[in-house]
Structure 1
C-alpha cells in the first residue's frame, strides 16, 4: 500500500465543485462523470445537500442538465440560487434556467490544478 488511499467519490465531487469558476455553472451529471461515476448525478445532488461549508458556498453553480435551478430545496427557493448566480454575471434564458451556451463549465475540459 502507498500509505495514501485514493479520494472517495464524495471527496472527488467536493474538489470538483470547488473548482467551478465564478460566473460559470456545471451540471450534476458532468460532476459525476468527472468524479468517475457517470451515472451518479443524483448522488452528486445528495452530497451537495450535505456538503461542508466551503462547498455549500459555491454549490449554487451546479444545475441540472437543462440548466434549470433544481437545488431550490437546499436554498429555500430557486430565486435564492438565481440571485447568487446573477451576482456572478450568469444570465438566464428563462426564469430559472441558466444560459448554458454562455456559462457551461465542464471539469473534463480543464486539467486539474497541480498540487
Structure 2
C-alpha cells in the first residue's frame, strides 16, 4: 500500500482543480506540473490518487488523461457534466486542443 500524499500536496492539487473554469479541462500531468512548480514534487499518478480520494470536493470531471480519456469508472457522469459546460469531444474523448486550460489563461 502506498503512503497518502502529504496534506499540503493534496491541498495544492484541489486548489488547482477548483480553479479550472467551466468548459475547460486539465490533464493529470498538467495539474502535477503546476503543483510541482509550487511544492517541488508530484506526478500525474499522485494527482490521480488525490483525485480518487478527495476529488469529490472539486470539479473532478475537468481533470482528464492527457489524450482526453475521462476518469475511469466515471465516464458517463463526466461526459454529461462536460457536455453541459460546452466541452468539445472527439468521439468519447475530450478534444484537448480545444479545451485545455493553464492557470493564468483566460477562461
Work out whether the TM-score is over 0.5.
yes
TM (normalized to structure 1)?
0.75
Q: Residues 41-83 of structure 1, C-alpha deviation per residue, up to 9 Å, x if partnerless?
A: 011111011116432xx000000111111x132x3xx121111
Quote the residue 1:81 is aligned against.
Answer: 78
Higher RCO structure (Cα 8 Å, ≥6 apart): 2
Tell me how far apart the structure 1 counterparts of residues 99 and 56 of structure 2 sit (CA, whole Å): 24
Q: CA RMSD in A?
A: 1.9
Alignment of 1:1-115 (within 5 A): 8-36=8-36, 40-51=43-54, 53-55=56-58, 58-69=59-70, 71-73=71-73, 75=74, 78-95=75-92, 97-107=93-103, 110=104
Which structure: greater helix fraction? 2
Number of residue-to-residue matches in the alignment: 96
- Structure 1 runs, 4 residues or longer, greater than 6 Å off: none
Unaligned runs of 5+ in 2: 1-6
Q: 1:62 to 1:38 in 2, by over 3 A?
A: farther
SS in structure 2 opposite 1:43? helix
TM (normalized to structure 2)?
0.81
